[in-house]
Amino acid sequence: MIKLGINIDHVATLRQQRKETEPDVCEAARIALASGADSITVHLREDRRHIQDADVEALCEFVPRLNLEMSIAPEIVSIADRLRPKHICLVPEKREELTTEGGLDVVGMIDRITEVVQTLQSEDTEVSLFIDPDKAQLDAAKASGAQAIELHTGDYANYDQEPVKQMAELQRLHEAALYAHSLGLVVNAGHGLKYHNTDPIVALPHMNELNIGHSIICRSVFVGLSEAVKEMAVIVKAS
C-alpha cells in the first residue's frame, strides 16, 4: 500500500501572517497522523517564511516519520545534522519563488549533493532527492549515494487543462519510476497533486509514498483537516 505524507507548511504560513501561535503546526501533525497520514512533511526554508526551527524541533519529538525538506545550504544542513529526522528530502530553493519550482539539479551539483548525502544519511536517516523525471538526474541521484528519490509531479499537475501534454508528462513519470526502481532507488512523488489528479500517480509502478500538502490544507478550510486527510488517504491507499 502506498504511504501518504502530509505537508503542513501552509498551516505555518497562516500562523506567520500575524506572527501568532495559531494555528499550531504540532496539532495539525497530530490530527493528520490520527486521520490516515503515514508521515509529516515540513520544509525549513532559508528565509523561514513558514516553518520555523522550533517547529522542526517540536515535531521531531513526537512524529515517528518526519520528512524534512531542505536546501543544501550549510546552515540548514547543520540543523538537520543535529536533529536527525527520520527522512530528509533535498530540494532546490530560490528566495523569490512562491513554492518549489522544478527538481534539484543533481547533475550540475553532484559533488556538493554527494557531500550532503554522506553527512546526513545513516542507518536511522534516509536521504531523498527531489528531482524531475529525467534519466540523467536519476543516474546522478544514484551516484550521489541517496537511497530514495521524490519525482517532481508539478509539471504533470500544471497541465490539468492540457490533456495531451499531461499524458506525455505522466508517461515521463512512468518511465522514470521504472528506471529509478531498476537502480535500486526508493520511488516517492509529489508536488501540485490534488484530489482530482492523484489517481494516475497512485497507479505509477513501484510508488512508495506520495507527499501532498497545499490541496489538503485548502480542502480543510471547508471540511476540517481530519476529513481532508481522510479523503486523500482513500485515494492514495486504494492501490
**Predicted local distance difference test score (pLDDT) of residue 93:** 84
Question: What topology is assigned to 3-236 in CATH?
Answer: TIM Barrel (3.20.20)
**Predicted local distance difference test score (pLDDT) of residue 239:** 62
**Predicted local distance difference test score (pLDDT) of residue 95:** 56
CA gap 43, 45 in Å, rounded = 6
pLDDT by 10s per residue, the chain, length 239: 999 999 999 999 999 998 888 999 999 999 999 999 999 999 999 999 999 999 999 999 999 999 999 999 999 999 999 999 999 999 998 655 555 567 999 999 999 999 999 999 998 999 999 999 999 999 999 999 999 999 999 999 999 999 999 999 999 999 999 999 999 999 999 999 999 999 999 999 999 999 999 999 999 999 999 999 999 999 999 86
Non-local (6+) Cβ contacts of 78 within 8 A are none
The single residue of 50, 69, 150, 209 carrying the catalytic annotation is 69
The single residue of 10, 50, 152, 191 carrying the catalytic annotation is 191
Residue 91: strand, helix, or coil: coil
191 as an active site residue: the answer is yes
Write b or e for each residue in 99-133: b if 16 or more Cβ atoms lie within 10 A of its Cβ, otherwise e.
ebebbbebbebeeebbebbeebbeeebbbbbbbbb
CA gap 100, 82 in Å, rounded = 24
Domain ranges of the chain: 3-236
**Predicted local distance difference test score (pLDDT) of residue 101:** 64
The single residue of 10, 43, 87, 152 carrying the catalytic annotation is 43
**Predicted local distance difference test score (pLDDT) of residue 19:** 86
150 as an active site residue: the answer is no
CA gap 126, 120 in Å, rounded = 8
